[in-house]
Amino acid sequence: MKTAGVIGGGAWGTALAQVCARAGLDVVLWAREPEVVEAVNARHENSLFLPGVPLEASIRATGDLADLGDRDLILAVAPAQHLRSTLTAFAPHVREGLPIVLCSKGVEQGSLKLMTEVLAETIPQAAPAVLSGPSFAGEVARGLPTAVTLACPDEGCAEALGEAIATPTFRPYFANDMIGAEAGGAIKNVLAIATGIVEGRGLGRSAHAALITRGFSELTRIAVALGGEAETVAGLCGLGDLVLTCSSPQSRNMSVGLALGGGQTLEQALAGKLSVAEGVASAPAVRQLARKLGVDVPICEAVAAILAGEVGVDDAIRGLLSRPLREER
């Protein structure tokens, strides 16, 4: 593999383009925004979504998905709720067996499907893989050490992809459980909003730790109910990603929770934000999915209810703390 295409010119897509370029791949980055294309090509910077981070001069940007059709591998980084339409537009340019690595994290509203299911329906001829793990775009783009999960059912394809994108500071670990990898990445975004609310309300570090731990139980139950493995979500793509995104206001989802916990409305919390907080869109879908699976997820339920305006922050907190006592599991 010598060439890579990255679909999505946001902060994470740009960071992954940077990773691929540092790994020695010839990289084309597709962005929806003309100003991103212009800035990357003319000034080697994504001043809209990742300002202040110099990009590798070899990265080329385009606004035409057809320019990615001849790539050896594709990283799909469009937001989860827009992935279906983006992949549908790209489908006519895809050859049989093209590796497409899904880097978006979320559950699709309406269909309640994971991103691998969306890919299977839009580009069934692709070879799927999932990239997930604790990774802030700015840190990855600047070359700080990062480890992620690369999940792929084809061991040979996984090894080829890993060798293609690995750098001295970006280390993929292999797995074959794509469902577990996806579930961890999707559900942790909802839980990050919850931890932000805890922080914004000043409820203390003990409450913060308890929420992460009990949230991880919810994440694991959903992943296993979907057919994933508990061992997978105990790794980088589950527990690792959860710890990171629930521990820093750099997390877009936690920052939304911080604003809600501080008394802002959802509209105020989202105002002026260019980057997508996937947990806001995924929360209602995660709630519906858990109910469909018969899985108890009180924290995810509470977040979805707060975001929908069905309950206030303080009432949601009281509701969680007044649940019947039970065995920890």
Q: So which residues are the catalytic ones?
A: 188
- The amino acid occupying position 213 is T
Instruction: Tell me the Cα Rg of the chain.
Output: 19
**Please, what's the b/e burial string for 208-239 (b: 16 or more CB within 10 A of its CB; e: otherwise)?**
beebbebbbebbbbbbbeeebbeebbbbbbbb
- By CB atoms closer than 10 A (0-12, 13-18, 19+), residue 8 is buried
**Number of other residues whose CB lies within 10 A of the CB of residue 116:** 19
Pick from 165, 154, 237, 172: which is nearest to 21 by CA?
165
Please count the CA atoms within 13 angstroms of the CA of 115 that sit on its side-chain side. Answer: 35
The pair of three-digit structure tokens given for residue 64, joined into one six-digit string = 């035409």
